[in-house]
């Protein structure tokens, strides 16, 4: 196993890596600087888009010309050619201290995204599902900081966490309707190192990989919730993970250069870099595009 630096852009809050199998390109974001990046698996041909506000996550649309983006000001469609944004809905316009955060597309092409309190204190966040017809539905609430949405290989189990709850949750996921039910604790998060649950993905073997932000570790959980593997990273503030590369066997890891609040710890020189872990012998599952 080798941990390599793909590119060291010093993203203030690097997040949300998404490998697009059609383009063979990696997308990732800088949440606080409001930018989307795209590059090759080895960090070349980097392009950036400025979305003008804080961004929590993004997903490509099936036409390849747009993306659905979760911004401070709500859900929008971004036109990659013009850079124009089209508002879909701003579900929390009455909550100025909140913003949309982590989101992913389910196997059927629906975008599931959560919100967060920017001070990471108040349980004012919600979990939403945006359908291809651009109608928005509330799936859960009473959340401080939404993170780590992902699905089991068959799409019937949905994983999600409220970063500061100390737990990863599993829900039954109705693949026909996109409804969730039967929320339960999938795993307890070891916070003894000061870390907390952040972005996550599921590999082809059904194991969940999660970034332990501020703890500098990646945790692989078996389908039964037990810890299967722990990888120590070169920086403490690892934020999210995604499999990609031509064979879907490279694990990309984002990190942050500067913590969003003063109470969070600093880090080493490589803070804010994008990493690639090779030689794991494990493949991921291709991410779907938003079906709009």
198 is catalytic: yes
- What span, in angstroms and rounded, lies between the C-alpha atoms of 94 and 103? 21
Give the tokens for residue 68. Answer: 């659905």
Contact at 8 Å (CB) between 98 and 117? yes
Annotation-wise, does 98 bind a ligand? Answer: no
The response to whether 45 counts as a known ligand-binding position is no
| Nearest C-alpha neighbor of 284 from the set 98, 33, 26, 58 | 26
- As a whole number of angstroms, the distance between CA 123 and CA 64 comes to 35
| Distance, CA of 132 to CA of 291 (rounded, Å) | 5
**How far is 291 from 63, CA to CA, in rounded Å?**
9
According to the annotation, is 147 in a ligand binding site?
Answer: yes
**Within a 10 A sphere around the Cβ of 178, how many other Cβ atoms?**
19
Non-local CB neighbours of 255 within 8 Å, separated by 6+ positions: 11, 14, 233, 235, 237, 238, 239, 267, 270, 271, 272, 273, 274, 275
229 annotated as ligand-binding: no
Instruction: Say whether 101 counts as a known binding-site residue.
Output: yes
Catalytic residue among 30, 33, 117, 198: 198
Identify how many contiguous H helices and E strands the chain contains and give both numbers: 0, 24
Let me know: does 116 contact 146? Beta carbons within 8 Å: yes
Q: What's the burial of 181, exposed, middle or buried (CB within 10 Å: 0-12/13-18/19+)?
A: exposed
Tell me the catalytic residues: 198
Binding-site positions for substrate: 99, 101
- Annotated binding residues, written as ranges, equal 15, 99, 101, 147, 198
């Amino acid at each position: 196993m080798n941990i390599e630096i793909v590119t060291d852009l010093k993203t203030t809050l690097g997040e949300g890596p998404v490998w697009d199998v059609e383009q063979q390109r990696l997308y990732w974001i800088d949440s606080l600087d409001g930018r989307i990046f795209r590059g090759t698996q080895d960090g070349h041909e980097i392009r950036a888009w400025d979305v003008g506000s804080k961004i929590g996550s993004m997903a490509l649309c099936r036409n390849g010309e747009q993306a659905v983006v979760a911004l401070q000001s709500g859900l929008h469609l971004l036109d990659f050619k013009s850079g124009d944004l089209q508002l879909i809905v701003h579900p929390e316009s009455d909550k100025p201290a909140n913003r949309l955060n982590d989101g992913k597309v389910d196997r059927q092409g629906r975008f599931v995204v959560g919100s967060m309190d920017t001070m990471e204190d108040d349980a004012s966040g919600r979990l939403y599902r945006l359908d291809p017809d651009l109608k928005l539905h509330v799936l859960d609430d009473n959340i401080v900081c939404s993170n780590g949405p992902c699905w089991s290989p068959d799409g019937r189990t949905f994983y999600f966490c409220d970063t500061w709850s100390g737990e990863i949750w599993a829900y039954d996921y109705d693949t026909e309707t996109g409804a969730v039910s039967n929320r339960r604790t999938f795993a307890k998060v070891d916070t003894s190192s000061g870390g907390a649950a952040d972005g996550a993905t599921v590999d082809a073997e059904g194991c969940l990989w999660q970034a332990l932000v501020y703890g500098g570790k990646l945790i692989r959980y078996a389908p039964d919730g037990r810890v299967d593997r722990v990888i120590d990273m070169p920086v403490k503030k690892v934020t999210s993970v995604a499999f990609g590369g031509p064979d879907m066997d490279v694990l990309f890891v984002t990190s942050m250069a500067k913590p969003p609040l003063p109470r969070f710890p600093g880090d080493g020189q490589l803070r804010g870099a994008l990493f690639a872990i090779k030689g794991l012998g494990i493949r991921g599952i291709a991410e779907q595009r938003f079906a709009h």
